[in-house]
Amino acid sequence: AQSVTQLDSHVSVSEGTPVLLRCNYSSSYSPSLFWYVQHPNKGLQLLLKYTSAATLVKGINGFEAEFKKSETSFHLTKPSAHMSDAAEYFCVVSKDSNYQLIWGAGTKLIIKP
Amino acid sequence: DVKVTQSSRYLVKRTGEKVFLECVQDMDHENMFWYRQDPGLGLRLIYFSYDVKMKEKGDIPEGYSVSREKKERFSLILESASTNQTSMYLCASRWTGRNTEAFFGQGTRLTVV
């Protein structure tokens, strides 16, 4: 069965330092993968998506993610964290059979001043 | 600008009440979804609809029903609210296809007392 695993429930970084949020997936075929962000008391917003065009995907707010098939990973990175990045981040895979979305449990990103 | 609108941001209901959560999208999407979000559990799919009057159960349909009489509107119904249904409810809509992203409403925080 397909699944997505976010390896950290919480990640804490200092402002100005790099961010790494880890995501592993399982999928039989070439997957479609997404990262969403949810700021406190706000709805979910798409950060970026991978659809097999390029393995390095750039998203909004300076985030990017690299698809690595050999590692079945789709980690989210940002070179320099900003206080406004504090939010919860969700990794999502599109199901092979019916294209439904399978959600990771989320990673809370905490930014220390 | 694309829009998914949920009728209420906050609701407080009593145990045993029938509760209606409404969602409207203006993008002509075929697919609409109701999710429940609880801390540490990510998003769990309650029901989805792929066309008017069509619906399918998600992962946690017990205690819920849905209605889709018009393409733009998808309603979630709690037949007899219970305290364990206290949660954040998120509505989403999406085109059909594995590469398509979901667009979300702002969420309804429901408290059942």
The tens digit of pLDDT for each residue in A31-68 reads 889 999 999 888 899 999 998 778 899 999 999 999 99
Q: Are the C-beta atoms of residues B111 and B86 closer than 8 Å to each other?
A: yes
pLDDT for B26 equals 95
pLDDT for B85 equals 98
Q: Do the chains contact at B105 and A43, CB–CB below 8 Å?
A: yes
Chain A: residue whose CA lies nearest to B44? A103
**Best of A51, A57, A99, A102 to disrupt the B interface by mutation (most B CBs within 10 Å)?**
A99
Which helix (H) or strand (E) segment is A66 a member of?
A: strand A64-68
pLDDT for A85 equals 97
What is the pairing mode between strands A33-38 and A23-26?
unpaired
Cα gap B46→B33, rounded to integer Å: 8
The pLDDT of residue A30 is above 80: no
Length of chain B in residues, anyone?
113
Measure in Å the smallest separation between the Cα of A6 and chain B Cα atoms: 10
Q: Are the C-beta atoms of residues A87 and A40 closer than 8 Å to each other?
A: yes
Mean pLDDT on B73-92 = 97
Grade residue B100 by pLDDT with cuts at 50, 70 and 90: confident
pLDDT for B5 equals 96
pLDDT for A43 equals 86
What's chain A's average pLDDT? Answer: 92
Grade residue B45 by pLDDT with cuts at 50, 70 and 90: very high
3-state DSSP of B30-91: CEEEEEEEECCCEEEEEEEEEECCEEEECCCCCCEEEEEEECCEEEEEECCCCHHHCEEEEE
Q: Do the chains contact at B90 and A43, CB–CB below 8 Å?
A: yes
Q: Which of B14, B20, B25 is nearest to B82 (CA)?
A: B14
Grade residue A1 by pLDDT with cuts at 50, 70 and 90: confident
Of residues A45, A49, A105, nearest to B40 (C-beta): A105
